Structure 1
Amino acid sequence: MLKVFLVEDEIVMREGIKNNIPWEEEGFDFVGEASDGELAYPMIRKLCPDIIITDIKMPFMDGLELSRLVKKDLPDVSIIILSGYDEFEYAKEAIRIGVTEYLVKPVSSAKLLEAVKEIGSRIEKENEKKKYLEQFKKEMKEMELHEKEKFLHEILSGRIPMTELLEKGKKLNIHLAAGVYDVVLFMMRQAEDMDGTCSKELPAAWDTVMELAEQTENIYMFNRGIDGVEFLLLDENEKRMEQKRDDFLKELTDIASKSGELQYFIGVGNVVNRLREVHESYESASKAFSYRYLISSNRIVYAEHMEEMRAGIGGSDDADIDLKELDFGKIDRKIIKNFLTKGLLEEVSHFIEDYFSSLGSGNVESILFRQYITTDMYFGTVAFVEELGYDADSIIAVFGDFKAISEVFPSVEKTKEYLKNMIREAMNLRDRISVKKYGSLIDDAKAYIEHNFDSEDISLNSVAAHVNISASHFSSIFSGEEGQTFIEHLTALRMDKAKQLLMCSSLKSSEIGYAVGYKDPHYFSYLFKKTQNCTPKEYRMRGKAVNAESTRNAYNTGNAYRAGMEEV
C-alpha cells in the first residue's frame, strides 16, 4: 500500500482528513501526521511516505518550505498542497518546487480522496515502469555477459583477424587496442567443499569482484562458470602492466580474504605483445591455474615462475630414488581424487606434467618408482569410478586389465601418456553420471519455466530456488547443459508463444507481449525485433501473406485437379 502523511495546523481539519477518509479501504496506509513543517520534516524522513498532504500556511515552517526540504531528500515523493489562497504566485512557486497538486480550500473529503487516488494511480504506474526497466536492464546485462563470453572464445581461438576483433569489441564496449596483454584466471569458493549451496559471503564477494573489474580501466572480466572467471588486462608496456597486475591482484586477494571463510586461487599468464597471441597468455595462465590441485589454496601462481618452481622440486637425471628430493605429501590419493572430482578434461595434460614435476625429475626416471606411482594412481582412479557406481566389468573395459599395465613403464613419456588417458576416461565416466544427475534437474527447471514463462516474477533466482540450488551454480549448469543462458532460453520460449499468438489470434501486439510475460509493450517490441529480425506487426503481415499464397496455390491445385477429372 502507498503511504500517506498529513501536515495540518488546524486540528479540526487534520482530524477530519484523518478520520473521514477510509484510507485502508481505499488502498492507502495513513502513516503519520504533524501540526507544522518543523515537526513533520524528521518524521517524513524516517517514514518515507509516497504522498504528503500539507497545508501551505503553518507556524514555524510553512508548506512551501517543507516541500523544498522534502524534495531534496525524497525527490520521488508526491506532494498535495492545501491552500486558502487562490493566488497565482503561490501556485507558481509550488510548481517550481515540484508539488504534484495544488488544491484551494475548502476541500471536501471526496475531492481530496479523488486527488490522492489519481496521484496514487500515477505512482503505481511509475513504480511498475521502474520495475520493468530494472528487469530490462538485468536481462540486457545477462545477455551482454553471454555475448562477452562468446567473444572471449573468439579472441582465444587466434583465428579471427585483428580488425574484426577490434570492431566486435567496440560493440561490446571492450576496447582491445593496447601495447601488451595478460590473462589472469581467478577462482573463489567457500573454505569447505562446495555442495551446490553458497554462503552470504561468497555472492557478496563476487559482487565486489565484479564492481572492481568494472571500475578498473582496461580490465575485462569473463565468466567461466563453476571454474571462476578470467580477466583480460591491457596496458601500454610491460612495466606498466606489471604494476597494474600487482595492484589488481592485491585487491582481489583482499576481497577473498576479508571474511576468512573463503578460499581463492589465481593463475597468471605470460605477458604478450599482440592481440592474436592472447591465447598463448591464456594457455600459460591455465598451466599455472592447474597447480591448484597440487598446492594449497590462497596462492598466486605465475606462469613465468613455474620453471623455477619445478627446478626447486626437481633433481638429477639419475635413476635412483632420492628421498631428500621427494615430497611425500604429493604421493597422496586425495590429490588425484580432488582432480578427478573437480578438474576439467582440458587440464589433464597440465596436471600430469605438473604432478610428475612435483615428484622430482630424478625420481620419475626410476622404473620402480614409476611402477609405484602408476599403480597407486590406477587403484585410486578405480576407487573413484567405483564410487560413481560403475561395476568391475565396466572399469576393466575402460582402463584395461591391471596385469597388462607393465607395458607402460619403458619410458617416462609412455607412463605419462597412459595416466593422461586413464584420467580422461575416468572423467568421461564422471561427466556421464553428471549429465544424468543434472538431466533431471534441468528437466525440472525447464518444466517450471514452461509453466511460468508468462509470469512477471520469473527469474534466474526463482527457478534456481525451485530446483533448490544457488543461482550462480544453476546458471553455470544450465548454460553448460543447454548451450544457452537461462534468459536466452526464456526469451526464445516467450518469442515462440508470441509468434503463435500473432498468427492465431486477433490480439494486439501489446496484449500479446503482456500474455507472454512482458508488461512493457516497448520492451516486448524491442526484444521481438532483436530476436526475430522484424517487428511483431511485420511478422503478422508476413504470415498473412504466406497464408494467402498457400490458399491461392491450394485453390489453383484444386481447380487443376477438377479440370483433369472432367477430361477423364
Structure 2
Amino acid sequence: MKIVIAERDDHERVAIEWLISTYSIPINHVFAAKTVKETLAAVEKELPEILYLELDMIPAENWPLMTRHIKSFSPKVIAVTAEATFERAKQAIELGSVDLLDKPLDPVKIKDCLRVASSLVSRREQLNDLDSHKDEGFSYRSLFLEQELNIGKLTLMILHAENNKKYPDLLEFLKAYPFREHPTILPLTDMVVCLFKKTQNIRKETVKFLREWEAAHIEPLAAVIIPPNQEMKTVHEMYRGARRLLEVTFFIGYRQVILPKEGYECWNEIDPFLTSAEQRDWVEMLNSFDKQKIKNWMHQEFFHMDTPFPNPEKLRTRLTSILAQVRRFMKTYQLDNGEMEEYYMKIFSEILYNRVLYRIVQEMLLFLYELLDRARIGDVFSKKDVIERGLMYIEKHYANPDLTLEDVADAVGRSTAYYSHLLMKRQGISFRQHLANKRINEAKQLLHAGQLSIKEIAYQVGFRNPSYFTRLFKEMTNMAPREYKLNVQQEME
C-alpha cells in the first residue's frame, strides 16, 4: 500500500512516517510532496491508495485542478488544516475525506485515521473483483461503465444503513435472505447494490426485508429502487440515478423504500447564508433566552420543505451560518471553553456528517437549550458587570464625538436594544442622558481649572459644535459656560 504525504512542514512528514512504521500500519511505500505541483505529480505517478493532504497549501486557483486529480485517481484522503473553518470542512467533504484533522496534530488521531483509511482500501480491494459475478450476467463493470445495456426488464436496488458500522451485518443478512428471485449482489464501500432480472413484487419484498432487518438489528435502513424503464439506457445510468435518489434520505430519513418521484430529480439551489434580518433575529432570540422562539424558527425553517428539496450541502452551510451566531453568543458569556466548547464541536461535526437533517436539528436544539440554561445562570451574576463595563467604556471614550450606544453594546457583547434596556432599568436614564451628564460634568471640571477656552473645552469633552455645547450646558445647569466660569472664579476670590 502506498501513501503520498503532501505537507509543507518537514517535521510533520517525518512524524507521520514514524507513526506508520511504529504502529505497523500496512503501508509499504511513503512519498513526500511539498507543493501542489509535486502533489499532483506524485498522485499521478505513484497511484497511492492514501493521500495525506494539507489543505492550507492549496491556493484557491489550484483547487479545481486538485479535486479533479484526486477524483480521477481515487485515493483515500486524510485532510489536515491549521484553520478549523467551515470552508476547510467543506473542502474535506468535497474530497470525500476519511477525516479532517486540526493542527496541532494529535498522534493518536493520525494513527486512527491511517488505520481507517488502510482498512477502507483493503475492503475496496476485496470488493472490487470486477469479474466475480460474470456467471450471473452482471459485474461491477455494469455499474461503473456504460457498457451493460438495460433492456428495460431490470430492477436495480440500493440498500444503505444509516450507521456504517452495520454494513457487515447488512451484507450477511442480505445474502441469507430468501428473496423469491435471489439478486446479483454487488457490495460497495458503504452500500450494497442488488440487480433483479425478474421484477414482480420487488417493492413488497423490499418492505418486508426492511421490516425483518429492523426487527433483528434495530438500526435504520433505506432502500432505493429503480424499476424497469426505457429512459435509462444502461445499468450505469440506473446506478447513478439510484445514488442520486439515496440523497433524499437527508430530508425524509431512513426506514423506507424510495422510488423515483417528481421533485426528487434535482435540487432547489438556495442562498445558504443568513440575511442581515435573520442575523438580528438570532441575536435577539439568543440574548432573550427564548427557547420556544428558537425551536419554532428551526422547525419552520427545516421541517416544512416542499420538493424539490434544497441542495443538502447548501443546507449544511446554512446550519453553520446559524452556528456562527451561536459562537458569538458563547464568547459573550465566556462559554467557548471546556464542556460547552466540546459540545459545540460535536454539533459542528453533526452538521457536516450526520446523514439525516431531522437528527441534526434535534441535536442542535438540545445543544442550544443547554447553552441558554448555562448562559442564563451566568447572566444573573453578570448583568451588573455588563452595566458597569459599559459605564467604564463610556468613561474612557466619552471624548470621542462619534461614540454611540452601539459601540458600548458591542464592547460588552450585548445587542443595542438589550443594553439600552438594562441601562434604563438599573440607572433610570438613557444612554444619551448618561453621556451628556458625563460630558457636562467633565466640562465643569475644566471650567474650574480655568485654563482652556469655552471652544477648547467643548472639543475636549466630545462636542464638535461649541454652540451646541453651550446650549446643552445651559439646559442642564441653568447658566451658560461663560457665566458658570465667572461664578467659579468669583467664589475662589
TM-score by length of 1: 0.25
Q: Greater helix share, 1 or 2? A: 1
Higher Cα radius of gyration: 1
User: What is the TM-score normalised by the length of structure 2?
Assistant: 0.28
